[in-house]
Amino acid sequence: MYNLLDAFLEYLRFNKNYSYMTIESYARDIGYFFEFLEDKKITLDEVDPKVIREFSLYLNSTRKLKHSSLRRIFSSIKSFAKFAYKKGFVSKNFGKYVVFPKLPSNLPKFLDEDRVVYMFENIYQKYNFIDNEKKRIMLIRDMAIMFCFYLTGVRISEIASLKLGDINFSSATILIKGKGGKKRIIPLHPILKEKILEYLNVRDKIKTKDTDLLFVGNSKEGGLSVRQIRNLVYKYTSLAGFKVNPHALRHTFATHLLNDGNDIRVIQELLGHSSIGTTQKYIHTSSRRLKEVYKKYHPHA
């Protein structure tokens, strides 16, 4: 079994160009599974739904893992099983028996940086294992949308209404039409620029009618509805083990900017807030950092 694991890890390293940290994570996750199989004297070909259920119980009873960690472990097993089956090392794809643990009902208000990294690594992983060209194209669009949320902090309605002409690649800016018809200019992050350009190369293969909307789909206007975009966010964050709504990504954007030392008034402008008090509600940071901000901007501090 461990020779097969080595082959899988080499595949991730040389074929998928995964980072050292990501590969280490896969090795650790699948290692848990192998320990369980060895203890029960079960071969990979003998893995069935019952074995997967027993492994889930085993993890819950022997290791104190976060909910997101449990989902990551099962995601790793699913990818490993698909690799082993496609390469002919096992007689069946036992990954289809994996049922992800249910998500907790309370949604986090923002994501820490580790969760953001894991979320995007999870999307890349999904992309690398998709064989269907149509699904791959849709994932390119979805990836651009997810990066747009995280790297701009825009509202879901603002993403849905973005038009092709709102993206200025030469000046690296985006024109956002916000609440009450207010307009603001925000920077186009280099990574987001790359993802949008990649998406634009396949956009014509998705659109169902002529539209100048940036992100296309099958709504009446030819774009994506707010509900469809919200469901995309739920889908990709759930795959990573934590379900958050689009507004949480807006909170995440603001929090990470402040933690990186950016001026809260700049963040206020980027978010399109008329009041700095509103911006402060979006920020989830250490008490020390909050005291610094309070002292600097509160009139009675």
pLDDT tens-digit readout, 262-295: 888 888 888 888 887 777 776 665 445 545 544 5
CA distance 193 to 245: 23
Domain range list for the chain: 2-97, 113-246
290 closest CA partner among 252, 258, 247, 249: 258
Which tokens sit at 30? 């699948």
Q: Which residue has the higher pLDDT, 125 or 298?
A: 125
What rounded mean pLDDT belongs to the chain?
85
Buried b (16+ CB within 10 A) or exposed e, 80-103: bbbbbbeeebbeeebbebbeebeb
Amino acid letter for position 153? G
Which tokens sit at 234? 């739920």
The pLDDT-based confidence of 51 (bands split at 50, 70, 90) is very high
Residue corresponding to tokens 């690799």: 83
Under CATH, what is the fold of the domain 113-246? hpI Integrase; Chain A (1.10.443)
Kindly give, in sequence order, each residue whose CB lies less than 8 Å from that of residue 227, ignoring residues fewer than 6 positions away: none
Predicted local distance difference test score (pLDDT) of residue 292: 56
pLDDT digits (tens, 9 = 90+) for 4-14: 999 999 999 88
Q: Which residue has the higher pLDDT, 268 or 130?
A: 268
What distance separates the 2 farthest-apart alpha carbons in the chain?
A: 71
Instruction: Look at 92-96, 110-114, 153-157, 254-258 and tell me which has the smallest mean pLDDT.
Output: 110-114
Q: Which residues are catalytic?
A: 155, 179, 247, 250, 273, 282
CA distance 285 to 119: 20
CA distance 89 to 27: 18
CATH number of the structural domain 2-97: 1.10.150.130
Beta strand 183-187 pairing with 167-168? unpaired
Predicted local distance difference test score (pLDDT) of residue 285: 55
Rounded to the nearest 5°, which phi and psi values hold at 144?
-65, -40
Domain 2-97 identical in fold to domain 113-246? no
